[in-house]
Chain A
Amino acid sequence: MRRTRPISETLASGARLLVETDASIPLVDVDLVVRGGSVHDPVARDGLARLYARLLRRGTKRRALPSARALGPTSADALDEAIESLGGALAIDVTTSAIRFHGSVIRRNLQPFFALISSILLAPAMRPADLAFVRREAQAELVAQLDSDRWLASRAFRHALFATHPYGRSNTGTPETLEAITLRELRAFHEQRLRSGSVVVAFAGDVTAESARELVSTYLADLPRGEAVELELPEPRSPRGVRVVLVDKPDRTQTQLFVGTLGARMGERSFYPLLVANTVFGGTFSARLVREVRSERGWSYSAQSRLYADRARDAWVAYTHPAVEHVRDCLALELELVQRFVEGGVRAREVAFAKSYLTKSHAFDRDTAAKRLEPHVEAALFGLPLGFFEGYPERVAAVEAEAASAAVRTHLGGPSGRGTDLVVAVLGPRQPLERSLATVPGVSSLHVVPHAEVAHL
């Protein structure tokens, strides 16, 4: 195998370079990651980071590729044409914590491909017409999202759980906030966020550390110097009582049901115990939630729970999609399962099973160069020690049932300590759901939102 150990180094500019070489396939994945994502969107400017990412693809100020022909090197069309002609693909993803350019390219074209994406990052044109275009595009996609029931319910869930906390904002923006964002704000965002200390460059695949260093020193030489701008994130507040948000969408045969609360901060002591406990609850096909909702009752094809991890406490959420006629009983059952989870904890046998699953399946988190590099990218992003994720199997293996149960009580117990402080988002027809859901034992409030209004949250 032509594979070496991963390289991780801080360049003279302050940017972090990560390289994982694996020459088994002539393919290279390139990630250019800028720390700080949608949590940096100013108040009433939700979607700014994402609009910025869209804007970057609209063209560059300078010639991006010496050999570029046809439409001219600075136009959006020329960039797209050039990227795809090279056998490359580029996606720009915005999360709460980062703006991430993810590229893949066939090995022989790595150099011009990297030159292109560097130009997109360093010298975006950011013209008024470009902003007008991406604003219309973003607004049209918000309308298109009304077709996605799962997105609507998920968005309503996060809005209800995090309220005014930055995690509660929409990283796609709303029609109103998108309309309000100005070119001046976007240019300021570019100048303030793009600092060498904020940038992680990761290469994975058929590339050597030497050639990666050379590419970075050649094409990112103009990266503005400076430290990463960190944002102090407040801790979100736990919900009180069981608050139901019903997203009214007529003509549905099934519902989308999200039940959850706050999870744990990445890096805190109880993170791994909660991860193991979540696996017991809804992380595998053998988990409690799947057994109760899918296997025994046949109510929902999908049944899973997930612990989101970020710098502040993100969400822990269970997801199912029962039919309209089953959602009342399904919600009652899930509330009972959560309460039992909090009050009864997890058994040693369940923890042993979850640990076995998580530690042994770790092999699949490491079967490609890009996956092997990902923990290093995440550590750099979240400001964690470089080797933080290296010890994943050992940290999971060290979790005992007592610690897992304690983590569930601490994080999912809520102010009541009983697991009865939860946010529930249900998408489905208002009639008959409004009346039936209000009668589920434990529900303390129910609020109805028309589905078309979710895009405005």
Chain B
Amino acid sequence: MPSQSRATHAGTVPFGDRLRIERYLLDNGLELLVLPDPSAAIVSYHSWFRVGSRDEARGKTGQAHLLEHLMFIATERFAEGEFDRLVEQAGGESNAATWVDWTYYYENLPASELPLAIDLEAERMSRLVLAAPRVKSEKSVVLSERRDRVEDDIDGAVSEALYAAAFGRGHPYGWPTIGWERDIRGFTARDCVGFYRKHYAPDRATLVVAGDIDPRAVARRVARAYGPIPASGAARPLVPAPARPSQRSRTLRLRTPTEKVALAWRAPRFADPDHAAAVILGQILSGGRSARLYRELVQSTELATEVRASVAPFEHHALFDLWISAREGVRIDRALRLAERAIARLVGELVSAEELDKVKNRLELGFLAALETIPGKAEQIGFSRLVAGDPAHAFRRLEEYRRVSPADLQRVAAAIFGGPRVTIRVEPRVTRSSHRGAA
């Protein structure tokens, strides 16, 4: 075999107390992370690519996501529909996801079917067929997905407006991963081929293979299948710093019975230790029924039906966002005032050790639940490697949560909430007559 078929063992990374990740590198730059885990007779095969919506250009938004769809259609060896048919016949399932920093594909299969996953994924990394008629029909599917998730979905429409306002429509983190509708309509097969050739290559990818498997055998087989694929050698462009945001406010009038509001502030990037503190701040506000805002807005004052806060897990810049959906007949500003008071309290007062312990226990539960299945472990490894540079970052994150002190929370709260805020309000487009029977 030619020299490019070699997989060199590049280290072992502990994955908790019990499991180990074996790391291999191919000469063409492909990284392979193998997690032997005999807890079930299955394998989860993930292909993570260092390409996401941030790698698109203005006017071509949604390209990474459209290509993700097209990756399931046909390759030089596998005719249209064969990919899904082979995976399903083997008892597997396959899917993919695209976000700002990455795109990943997975197959979950019985362990004995690992060779099939390697064969299919190596094939579509380098020999994808992008025919114009299928690009056209898949654009229709993506437009349907966009209608489902954005045009006819309140959360999706607000989220799109929030990110655009927070980062600016011209910043890669400010446009939607699914793309603006006009851009999606405009894509040609030629656009897709160009994007594929530029971004899909072994040196832009990390494979994660987890399950009831032998790492050395996996490495040998992966080296044979992927070794001949040439590296792209192309460096990934840096994400430009977004313009300093100004205080912004916008109102959307949508078909909904109740008022809503979404707020956002810039937050630390995922790999920053302060991101852990930001996550804890979100949990204090809305993580569970005993969280401050849930208790105050949903239970005590009964002003809202829903409140949730989250911190985006992005590689370079993140966003802390807060969403409140009011009860029918309630002006959202009443709920907003209480939320602002709760936020001011995070900046002005130390969180008690008891409350902090509660949140840490909740986060530990979430951490354990995410690692319950083999596909869950594979996803954690791939995401952590791409966004934080460390495949076992999930365990480091748990330690970061444990180290966060009340003073850390106050400092991070001051940094986040002291910055400019973006506000998106939602008002009902048509005032509905009172809901019969509602109190």
B141 cross-chain contacts in A, Cβ below 8 A: 294, 298, 300-301
Most chain-B CB neighbours within 10 Å: which of A147, A302, A353?
A: A147
Q: Across the interface, do B90 and A360 meet the contact criterion of CB distance under 8 Å?
A: yes
CA distance A1 to B435 in the complex (A): 55
Q: Is A176 an interface residue (CB 8 A)?
A: yes
* One of B22-30, B144-152, B266-274, B307-315 at the interface: B144-152
B64 cross-chain contacts in A, Cβ below 8 A: none
Interface string of A289-326 (1 = CB under 8 A from B): 00100111111111000000000000000000111000
CA distance A296 to B362 in the complex (A): 45
Q: Across the interface, do B358 and A252 meet the contact criterion of CB distance under 8 Å?
A: no
Q: Across the interface, do A361 and B257 meet the contact criterion of CB distance under 8 Å?
A: no
Q: Is A250 an interface residue (CB 8 A)?
A: yes
B147 cross-chain contacts in A, Cβ below 8 A: 253-254, 321, 323
B40 cross-chain contacts in A, Cβ below 8 A: 363, 366-368
Q: Across the interface, do A359 and B91 meet the contact criterion of CB distance under 8 Å?
A: yes
B108 cross-chain contacts in A, Cβ below 8 A: 364
Q: Across the interface, do B92 and A178 meet the contact criterion of CB distance under 8 Å?
A: no
Q: Across the interface, do A295 and B81 meet the contact criterion of CB distance under 8 Å?
A: yes
Interface string of B129-151 (1 = CB under 8 A from A): 00000001111111111011001
Q: Across the interface, do B371 and A297 meet the contact criterion of CB distance under 8 Å?
A: no
- From residue 377 to 432 of chain A, which have CB atoms closer than 8 A to chain B? none
Partner of A254, one of B110, B148, B154, B373: B148
Q: Is A135 an interface residue (CB 8 A)?
A: yes
Q: Across the interface, do A77 and B368 meet the contact criterion of CB distance under 8 Å?
A: no
Partner of A84, one of B258, B289, B438: B289
Q: Across the interface, do B361 and A86 meet the contact criterion of CB distance under 8 Å?
A: yes
CA distance A68 to B85 in the complex (A): 55
- From residue 65 to 124 of chain B, which have CB atoms closer than 8 A to chain A? 72, 80-81, 84-85, 88-94, 108, 110, 113
Q: Is B249 an interface residue (CB 8 A)?
A: no
CA distance A83 to B22 in the complex (A): 38
- From residue 266 to 303 of chain B, which have CB atoms closer than 8 A to chain A? 288-290, 295, 299, 302
CA distance A69 to B429 in the complex (A): 46
Nearest neighbor of B138 in chain A, beta-carbon distance: A298
Nearest neighbor of B211 in chain A, beta-carbon distance: A367
CA distance A104 to B367 in the complex (A): 12
B91 cross-chain contacts in A, Cβ below 8 A: 356-363
Q: Is B432 an interface residue (CB 8 A)?
A: yes
Q: Across the interface, do B290 and A357 meet the contact criterion of CB distance under 8 Å?
A: no
Q: Is B255 an interface residue (CB 8 A)?
A: yes
Most chain-B CB neighbours within 10 Å: which of A88, A176, A285, A323?
A: A285
Q: Across the interface, do B290 and A254 meet the contact criterion of CB distance under 8 Å?
A: no
CA distance A191 to B251 in the complex (A): 50
A25 cross-chain contacts in B, Cβ below 8 A: 368, 371-372
Q: How far is the CB of B307 from chain A (nearest CB, A)?
A: 12
Interface string of B348-380 (1 = CB under 8 A from A): 000000100110011011001101111000000
Partner of B372, one of A81, A179, A368: A368
B138 cross-chain contacts in A, Cβ below 8 A: 298
Q: Is A24 an interface residue (CB 8 A)?
A: yes
Q: How far is the CB of A192 from chain B (nearest CB, A)?
A: 26
A142 cross-chain contacts in B, Cβ below 8 A: 435, 438
A359 cross-chain contacts in B, Cβ below 8 A: 91
Q: Across the interface, do A361 and B93 meet the contact criterion of CB distance under 8 Å?
A: yes
Q: Is B4 an interface residue (CB 8 A)?
A: no
A322 cross-chain contacts in B, Cβ below 8 A: 144
Q: How far is the CB of B194 from chain A (nearest CB, A)?
A: 22
Q: Across the interface, do A84 and B358 meet the contact criterion of CB distance under 8 Å?
A: yes
Q: Across the interface, do A87 and B361 meet the contact criterion of CB distance under 8 Å?
A: yes
Q: Across the interface, do A139 and B437 meet the contact criterion of CB distance under 8 Å?
A: yes
Q: Across the interface, do A301 and B256 meet the contact criterion of CB distance under 8 Å?
A: no
Nearest neighbor of B93 in chain A, beta-carbon distance: A361
Q: Across the interface, do B437 and A321 meet the contact criterion of CB distance under 8 Å?
A: no
Nearest neighbor of A177 in chain B, beta-carbon distance: B437
- From residue 128 to 154 of chain A, which have CB atoms closer than 8 A to chain B? 133, 135-137, 139-144, 146-147, 149
Contacts A251-B255, A297-B137, A367-B40; is A24 near B364 (CB within 8 Å)?
no
A133 cross-chain contacts in B, Cβ below 8 A: 302
CA distance A28 to B162 in the complex (A): 38
Contacts A87-B365, A254-B148, A368-B372; is A299 near B299 (CB within 8 Å)?
no
CA distance A141 to B439 in the complex (A): 12
B354 cross-chain contacts in A, Cβ below 8 A: 85
Q: Across the interface, do B257 and A89 meet the contact criterion of CB distance under 8 Å?
A: no
- From residue 73 to 118 of chain A, which have CB atoms closer than 8 A to chain B? 76-77, 80-81, 83-89, 104-106, 109
Interface string of A143-179 (1 = CB under 8 A from B): 1101101000000000000000000000000111011
Q: Is A208 an interface residue (CB 8 A)?
A: no
Nearest neighbor of A297 in chain B, beta-carbon distance: B137
Nearest neighbor of A26 in chain B, beta-carbon distance: B368
Q: Across the interface, do A321 and B364 meet the contact criterion of CB distance under 8 Å?
A: no
Q: Across the interface, do B368 and A106 meet the contact criterion of CB distance under 8 Å?
A: yes
Q: Across the interface, do B257 and A80 meet the contact criterion of CB distance under 8 Å?
A: no
Contacts A27-B368, A84-B290; is A144 near B435 (CB within 8 Å)?
no
Name 24 A/B residue pairs within 8 A (Cβ), A-sorted.
A80-B290, A81-B358, A86-B361, A89-B362, A142-B438, A143-B257, A144-B257, A144-B258, A253-B151, A284-B88, A285-B72, A297-B140, A298-B138, A298-B140, A298-B144, A301-B141, A302-B148, A323-B143, A360-B92, A367-B40, A367-B373, A368-B40, A452-B432, A456-B436
Residues of B within 8 A of A (CB): 18, 38-42, 72, 80-81, 84-85, 88-94, 108, 110, 113, 136-145, 147-148, 151-152, 154, 255-258, 288-290, 295, 299, 302, 305-306, 325, 327-328, 354, 357-358, 361-362, 364-365, 368-369, 371-374, 429, 432, 435-439
Q: Which 4 A-B pairs have the closest CB atoms?
A: A360-B91, A175-B437, A298-B140, A87-B361
| Given pairs A105-B365, A175-B437, A323-B147, 17 additional interface contacts (CB within 8 A) | A25-B368, A77-B290, A85-B357, A89-B365, A106-B361, A140-B438, A143-B305, A147-B257, A253-B147, A285-B88, A295-B81, A301-B142, A301-B144, A356-B90, A361-B110, A363-B40, A367-B373
